Amino acid sequence: MTIRLALLLMLLCLASLLVGGAGLGVPPATILLLLRLPRTVLAVVVGAGLGVSGAVLQGAMGNRLADPGLLGISGCASLGGAVAFYWGLAAASPLALPLAGLLGATFGGVALFGFAARAGTGLAFILAGIALASIASALLALVMALAPNPFALAELGDWLMGSVADKTPAAVMLASVPVAAGCAMLLRLGSRLDALALGETTAASLGFDAAATWRRAAAGVALAVGAGAAVVGGIGFVGLVVPNLLRPAVGERPGALLWPSLLGGACLLVAADLLARLAPMLLPLHAQPRLGVLTALLGAPFLAVLARR
Amino acid sequence: MRALLLALVAIGLPVAASAARNVVSLNLCTDEALLTLAPQRAAAVSFLARDPSLSVVAAAAAHVPAVGADAEAVLALHPKLVLAGRYGAQAVLAALRDTGVRVVVFGEPRSFAGIRAQWQALARVLGVAARGAAAIATMDAALAPRSAPRGTAVWLQPRLVTAGADTIEGAVLRHAGYVPVARSGGLEALVADPPRLLVLPAMPRFPSLADAVLTHPALAGIPRATVPMRLVACPGPWTAGAVHLLQ
C-alpha cells in the first residue's frame, strides 16, 4: 500500500509540474523552478502534514472523526498566520508567519487535548473541537474586517479555503521545515498509538503512558499543521478523509496507518491542486477554484460511501 | 508631476472662506473633485480621502470632517448637495433623495476625453465652471504629446488583475506609447509571454495577499515601472502625472 501510494504521488507530482496557467507540457525554467515546483512542493508538504495528523489524532483519540481541520487546529493556525500577515509582523520578519501559525496550532492543540484529558474523547470532544473551529474562523473574520487594508476582507476565502498558488520559494521553505519535523515526530508514535488502541490501562502496562502519548501527538500535530496553515490557509477535510479512506485497505492498527496517511494526504492535495489548475482549461472559469473546495469535492463523496457501509 | 499638483491646488486657493459648507461627498473620486474645485463648500468627505496612498487631496481632507455611507450622518450635516459614485451605497442615496436632498452621481472616466467631460460636469454642478476649465487646461498643458510606439505593456493590479484597453490605465499606457494588453492565466501566463513593460502600483502601507503576489520573484525578469495608485484610482487632471512617469 505504502509503495503504491508513493508511486501515485510521484506520478501526480510529475503531472503537477506539467500543468499550469502557461499551458500543458514542460514550461520554461523560470516557471518550472519559481512557480510550479514551489506549488507542488507546498501541496505535498501540507497534504502530508494534514494526512498524518489526521491518522495520529484518530488513533490517539480512538475517534474516527478527529481531524485537525474539523477540530479547529488548522483554524487556530490560520488565525495566527492571518494576524501576523495583516498586522505587519510577517513583513518585519519572514519567520513571523510560520511561528505565528505554530503558536496558533499549539494553542488549539493544548486546548483540545486539555479538554480530552478532562472530558474524554467521545462526542463531547468532537463538539468541543467544532466550537474551537467556529471561534477560530469568527476571530479570523474579525481580524480581517479590522485589518487596515481594503483587500483584506476579500482574502478571507483564501484563508478559510486555502490556496497553494503563487507562493514564493522562500515561503515554501519556511512552511516545509516545521511540517517535516512534525511529520517525523508523528511517524515515530506508531507503537504508542497501537498500545493506546488496546486501552489506557493496557498501554500503561506496556510502558506507554497515555498522557505522554497525547503530549507528543499534540506537539507533532501543531508542527505538522501550524506552519503549513499559516502559509496556505486552512485546508479542511484531508486529515478526516484520508485515514478513513485507507483504513479498509490497511487495517485497524493505528500505527500501520501513519505512513499511508502521510502519502495519501500528499496525493489528495496534489490531485486537488492539479484539478484546480485544470479547471479553467476545461470549464468556462476565469480563475482557479480554491483548494479547500476541491479537497472537499474529491474527498467527501468517498467518505459518504464509506459511512453508508 | 509635482508642478501639476501644485497648479491644481492653486486653482482651489483664491477662494472666499465665507461660502456655506453644504456639499457632502461620499466617494473618493468626488471627494478629490470637491476638494480641488470648491474646497470651501466641503461639509464632509469620505474617510478614504485622507489616505495618501489613494487620495491626491489627503492633506486638504485632514481638515474636513469624514463621513461614511450612512444616511443619518449625512442628513445631520444638512447638505444642499451630495456627490456620490455610481457603485455602492445606492440604498443610502435613495434614502437621501427621498428626504429631498439633491444627489448627483458620477461614474469613472476611462479616457482623457472622459476626464475633460467629467470635470466640466462636476464644475458646473459645484457652480465653479471657470475653475473646472482651468483644471482641464492644466491637465492638457501637462499632457505631453503622445510618445512613439514602444511595444506592449501590462498594467498589473493587486490580485493579478490586468487592466484592459478601455480603462484609464489603458489610456495612460497608450498615451505613453505602449499597447495595453490584458492577461488571464495568472502569474504563469505572464511569465510565459512577458510584455515589454510591467506597470505596478506603488506598494501600499499595509500587506495583503493581493499585493504580495506582485513581488513574486518569477516577475523579477520583466522591466517594470511603478505608478502611485492615487494617480489612477480616480481619474482626474492629475492622471497626466501617470503618463509622465511612463514617458
pLDDT tens digit sequence for B124-141: 999 999 999 999 999 999
Chain B residues with CB-CB distance to A85 below 8 A: 207, 209
- How far apart are the CA of B121 and the nearest CA of chain A, in angstroms? 29
A146 at the B interface (CB within 8 A)?
no
Q: How confident is the model at residue B3 (pLDDT cuts 50, 70, 90)?
A: low
Nearest CB to B206: which of A28, A148, A168? A148
CB pairs under 8 A between A and B: 79
DSSP element (H, E) containing B16: none
Q: Which residues contact A183 (CB under 8 A, 6 or more apart)?
A: A48, A49, A52, A220, A224, A262
Q: For chain A, which residues make up each domain, given as ranges?
A: 48-308
Cα atoms found within 13 Å of the Cα of residue B183, Cβ hemisphere only: 24
Quick check: B15 pLDDT over 50? Answer: no
Please list every residue in chain A whose beta carbon sits closer than 8 Å to the beta carbon of residue B192.
Answer: 21-23, 27-28, 31
**Does pLDDT of B7 surpass 70?**
no
Chain B residue at shortest CA distance from A39: B188
Q: In CATH, what class is B151-236?
A: alpha beta
Q: Which residues contact B49 (CB under 8 A, 6 or more apart)?
A: B25, B28, B31, B32, B35, B55, B57, B58, B61, B64, B66
pLDDT band at residue B154 under the 50/70/90 scheme: very high
Measure in Å the smallest separation between the Cα of B186 and chain A Cα atoms: 6
- What SS3 class is residue B162? strand
pLDDT at B125: 96
**3-class DSSP assignment, residue B219:** helix
Please give the pLDDT value at position B6: 56
Domain A48-308 has CATH 1.10.150.250: no
At B93, list the grid cell: 442615496
CB contact (8 A) between residue B213 and residue A91 = no
Q: For chain B, what percent of residues have pLDDT higher than 90?
A: 62
Of B160, B187, B215, the CB nearest to A35: B187
pLDDT of B84-110, one tens digit each? 998 877 889 999 999 999 999 999 999
Task: List chain A pLDDT tens, one digit each, 309 residues.
Answer: 899 999 999 999 999 999 887 778 888 888 899 989 999 999 999 999 999 999 999 999 888 888 898 899 999 999 999 998 888 888 888 888 889 999 999 999 999 888 888 888 778 888 999 999 999 999 998 988 888 776 677 778 788 888 888 888 988 999 999 999 999 999 999 999 999 998 888 888 888 888 889 899 999 999 999 989 988 988 888 999 999 999 999 998 999 999 999 999 999 999 999 998 888 888 877 777 888 888 888 777 877 887 787
- 8 A C-beta contact, residue A301 and residue A238: no
In chain A, whose CA is at the least distance from the CA of B192? A22
Q: How confident is the model at residue B246 (pLDDT cuts 50, 70, 90)?
A: very high
Inform me whether the pLDDT recorded for B234 exceeds 90. yes
Fold of B2-142: Rossmann fold (3.40.50)
* A16 contact residues in B (CB cutoff 8 A): none
- How far apart CA B231 and CA B241 sit, in angstroms, is 7
Å between A242 CA and nearest CA of chain B: 29
Q: What is the pLDDT of residue B16?
A: 44
Q: pLDDT: is A221 or B9 the higher one?
A: A221
Position B17 confidence tier, pLDDT thresholds 50, 70, 90: very low
Q: Which residues contact B201 (CB under 8 A, 6 or more apart)?
A: B156, B157, B158, B211, B214, B226, B227, B228, B229
Q: One fold for both B2-142 and B151-236?
A: yes
* Of A237, A184, A172, A193, the residue nearest A36 (C-alpha): A172
CB pair distance less than 8 Å for A35 and B218: yes
ipTM surpasses cut 0.85: no
* pLDDT confidence tier of residue B18, bands split at 50, 70 and 90: very low
Cell numbers describing residue B110 = 476611462
- A78, A234 Cβ separation under 8 angstroms: yes
Which of B208, B214, B215 to mutate to test binding with chain A, by most A CBs within 10 Å of its CB?
B208
B52–chain A nearest CA distance, Å: 13
Task: Please tell me the distance in Å from B11's CA to the nearest CA on chain A.
Answer: 31
Helix%, strand%, coil% for chain B, nearest 5: 45, 15, 35
Please state the domain extents for chain B. 2-142, 151-236
- Give B9's pLDDT tier (boundaries 50, 70, 90): low
Q: Residues with Cβ < 8 Å from B6, sequence gap 6 or more?
A: none
Which residues from chain B sit within 8 angstroms of residue A20, using beta carbons? 188
- The confidence band for B1, taking pLDDT boundaries of 50, 70 and 90, is low
Total residues belonging to chain A: 309
Q: Interhelix angle for B112-126 vs B168-175, to 10°? A: 120
Q: Determine which of B161, B209, B222 to mutate to test the interface with A (most A C-beta atoms within 10 Å).
A: B209
Query: Quick one: pLDDT at residue A195?
Result: 92
pLDDT tens digits for B61-84?
Answer: 999 999 988 898 999 999 999 999
